[in-house]
């Protein structure tokens, strides 16, 4: 299947398209997978071709057949005019912001945003003369009251990757566009398979391929896709920054693309099983998972999303730090580390209130963020059950 004939795949379902997008078996001498193209220099047939850039690929920094395969596949999957590839999810975010902002502009950012995104806004963008205002992720149509004459962009993250608020994306995009502002969304939790961000009006959509596109916790990768209106600015900013990705990482992402729908489906099933189980635990006061009916944004999630992934948080009843440490330090199957989307389960203690500025974090007890991997859920429950026993023992110890 040639990448140039991907239009013929549009009527197929996502799992079928993921199997065939970004492959050109004729150009690959019949082999199923695109090869890894390494190289900086591209040779031209003539001086005239060189002077006029008359070639599909002109220099390694500007792309090669491997990167083009992944860009075309992702653009098709996301319903975008084009996609840039970045060496990390954060680089995709910063490139998107720089593509639409300049000195004197005002930026609105959800208060539930990924910490490094906030850091970039508060430090780098501030140095460049861009003012950032943080807003309640549940603001909805109230975003209209926050937009100024110089507001050039609204940055969303839905759900928030620590506290899992679902934003009313259609309402926010409609208002932002009425004021001439671009809308950028970090869609890493859902991927295009679970939330059609461009279809809901978002102009630039971010994906940390580090997570589900990789699926194995062995690479850093970012993607940003744009609508026709914003694609030229995103592409030119990407080229100006000289941001490029390694060919082996592109190969691994193309490989991960083929099974992403299966892993997401299993991740959803496993995480929901664990979320329901945790919601019945006496040590847990709240489970923050938008697919659960008791979640305050469940109706929005049900309206806009076609599924859920494997990341969610819980709030424990009040417990001292040493008791939480006793619980977590003894776990056998849950690793403690950043990121998610791989095959292994993870848990991290979180304190969202430490970085919030527009809203207050209302939780009486410590919070934990879980990523549920591909282990047997009964084994995961047994591991946590023993952990909760350590928590209770440490709380009552003299």
pLDDT at 317 over 80: yes
First to last CA, the chain: 68
Torsion angle (degrees, nearest 10) of CA 198, 253, 58, 17: -50
Among 27-41, 73-87, 384-398, the minimum mean pLDDT is found in 27-41
Give the mean model confidence (pLDDT) for residues 175-193.
Answer: 98
Catalogue the E-assigned strands of 55-100. Answer: 82-86
Helix (H, G, I), strand (E, B) or coil at 271: helix
Distance CA 299, CA 305 (A): 10
pLDDT in tens, 205-246: 999 999 999 999 999 999 999 999 999 999 999 999 999 999
63: left (phi over 0), alpha (psi -120 to 50) or beta: left
Q: Give the tens place of pLDDT for each residue, 266-284.
A: 999 999 999 999 999 999 9
Query: Which has more confidence, 387 or 8?
Result: 387
Q: What average pLDDT does the structure give for the chain?
A: 94
């Amino acid at each position: 299947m040639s990448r140039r004939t991907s239009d013929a795949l549009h009527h197929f379902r996502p799992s079928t398209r993921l199997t065939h997008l970004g492959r050109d078996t004729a150009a690959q001498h019949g082999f199923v997978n695109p090869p890894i193209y390494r190289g900086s220099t591209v040779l031209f047939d003539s001086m005239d071709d060189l002077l006029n850039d008359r070639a599909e690929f002109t220099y390694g920094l500007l792309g090669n057949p491997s990167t083009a395969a992944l860009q075309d596949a992702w653009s098709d999957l996301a319903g975008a005019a084009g996609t840039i590839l970045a060496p990390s999810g954060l680089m995709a975010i910063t490139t998107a912001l720089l593509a639409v902002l300049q000195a004197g502009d005002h930026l609105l950012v959800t208060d539930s945003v990924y910490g490094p995104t906030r850091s970039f806004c508060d430090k780098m963008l501030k140095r460049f003369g861009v003012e950032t205002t943080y807003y309640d992720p549940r603001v909805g149509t109230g975003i209209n009251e926050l937009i100024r004459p110089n507001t050039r962009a609204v940055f969303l993250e839905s759900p928030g990757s620590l506290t899992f608020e679902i934003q009313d994306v259609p309402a926010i995009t409609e208002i932002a566009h009425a004021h001439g502002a671009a809308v950028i969304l970090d869609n890493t939790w859902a991927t295009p398979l679970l939330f059609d961000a461009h279809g809901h009006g978002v102009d630039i959509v971010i994906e940390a391929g580090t997570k589900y596109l990789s699926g194995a916790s062995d690479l850093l990768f970012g993607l940003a896709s744009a609508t026709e209106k914003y694609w030229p600015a995103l592409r030119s900013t990407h080229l100006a920054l000289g941001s490029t990705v390694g060919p082996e990482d592109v190969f691994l992402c193309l490989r991960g693309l083929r099974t992403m729908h299966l892993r997401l489906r299993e991740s959803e099933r496993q995480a929901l099983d664990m979320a329901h189980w945790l919601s019945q635990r006496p040590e847990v006061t709240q489970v923050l998972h938008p697919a659960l009916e008791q979640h305050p944004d469940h109706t929005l999630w049900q309206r806009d999303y076609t599924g859920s992934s494997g990341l969610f948080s819980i709030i424990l009843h009040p417990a001292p730090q040493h008791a939480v440490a006793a619980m977590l330090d003894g776990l056998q199957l849950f690793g403690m580390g950043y990121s998610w989307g791989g095959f292994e389960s993870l848990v991290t203690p979180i304190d969202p209130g430490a970085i919030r500025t527009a809203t207050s974090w209302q939780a009486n007890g410590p919070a934990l963020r879980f990523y549920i991997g591909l282990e047997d859920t009964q084994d995961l429950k047994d591991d946590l059950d023993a952990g909760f026993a350590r928590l209770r023992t440490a709380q009552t110890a003299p």
